Amino acid sequence: MTIAGNGPIWLAGAGNMGGAMLRGWLGAGVEAARVLVIRPSGAAVDGGVQVLKSPPPDGEMPAVLVLAMKPQKLDEAVPALAPMVGEGTLVVSVLAGVEVASLAKRFPRHRGIVRVMPNTPVAIGKGVALLHADARTDAATRAEAEELARPLGLTEWIPDETLFGAATALSGCGPAFLFRFIDAMAKAGAKLGLDEAQAARLALATVEGAALLAAGSDENPARLADRVASPGGSTRAGLNVLDEGAALDRLMASVLKASFDRNEEMAAAAR
């Protein structure tokens, strides 16, 4: 599969998010020989991809450099990576909170810089990948970055970088919040007397089916919830708890605001 040309792709960092992206690319047909993982531990990754502890001292510069280490580790990695980035390199960053201007200071030579924020379901091609590039990035470079993201799931451009943190809080952090919700449903079922393992299976299958139904429906999720709930029925009784004082809306607003605020803090630290 041709993604972002045919040149080398360097993946700096292969933890949860970097590893998920790598699995998504390999699953989409990207040849393992085209990818080089750079991680200080040197720990192997799946798929037969070469791993080095530091960039190779010679050889072809990367066509694409993907920054996927922890944001706090960026400045530790820059001295080794920046000299290897040339005018033909597209720098793609999945570092939460690190703005394009902050990246440009650290990588002054580049063909373009694009922020991409995936979420963990990209590992199975069912994720969300948010993209942002500044106005100086040409259409061809944007298209190349989108090629990298497209096999991973839904791709959405965020034109205004000031909104990137909000979108990250929603879709980038969102799977963790949903996992917690599934776990809470299972625990609640167990408290009603169900076997714990069975409650976990039921909660997971219920959320999976509901998500697929919502994705295939022309109606919004709020309307779908009302369709399930008959007046005076058991579903309506449960919804009344969630709806009282907009309890669920207020909870999710607080959750996303906390994630957004942390993104802003990391952006300020990287400037």
Instruction: Tell me the CATH number at 238.
Output: 1.10.3730.10
The whole-number pLDDT of residue 125 equals 87
Instruction: With residue 229 as reference, give the H or E element that holds it.
Output: none
Instruction: Find the distance separating the first CA and the last CA of the chain, reported in whole Å.
Output: 37
Alpha carbons 76 and 59: distance in angstroms, whole number: 22
Q: Is 163 helix (H, G, I), strand (E, B) or coil?
A: helix
- Answer whether residue 49 is part of any domain: yes
Structural domain including 220 reads 174-265
Question: What CATH number does the domain containing 106 carry?
Answer: 3.40.50.720
In the structure, how many helices (H) and strands (E) does the chain have? 10, 8
Residue 1 has pLDDT above 50, yes or no: no
User: What's the number of domains the chain is made of?
Assistant: 2
Q: Which residue type, as a one-letter code, is found at position 187?
A: K
Domain boundary among 166, 198, 220: 166
Average pLDDT of the residues of the chain: 92
Pair 159, 49 in one domain: yes
What is the helix (H) or strand (E) element at residue 222, kind and residue range?
helix 221-228
DSSP SS3 for 24: helix
Q: Are residues 210 and 125 in the same domain?
A: no
pLDDT band at 27 (very low <50, low <70, confident <90, very high): confident
In this prediction, residue 2 carries a pLDDT of 56
Residue 270 lies in a domain: no
Which residue among 135, 166, 197 closes a domain? 166
**Residue 24 pLDDT more than 90?**
no
- pLDDT on residue 59: 67
Tallying the residues shown for the chain, one arrives at: 271
Answer yes or no: do 131 and 257 share one domain: no
Domain co-membership, 151 together with 233: no
pLDDT per position as a tens digit, 88-133: 899 999 999 999 999 999 999 999 999 999 999 988 889 999 999 9
pLDDT band at 5 (very low <50, low <70, confident <90, very high): low
pLDDT value of residue 64: 94
Residue 2 lies in a domain: no
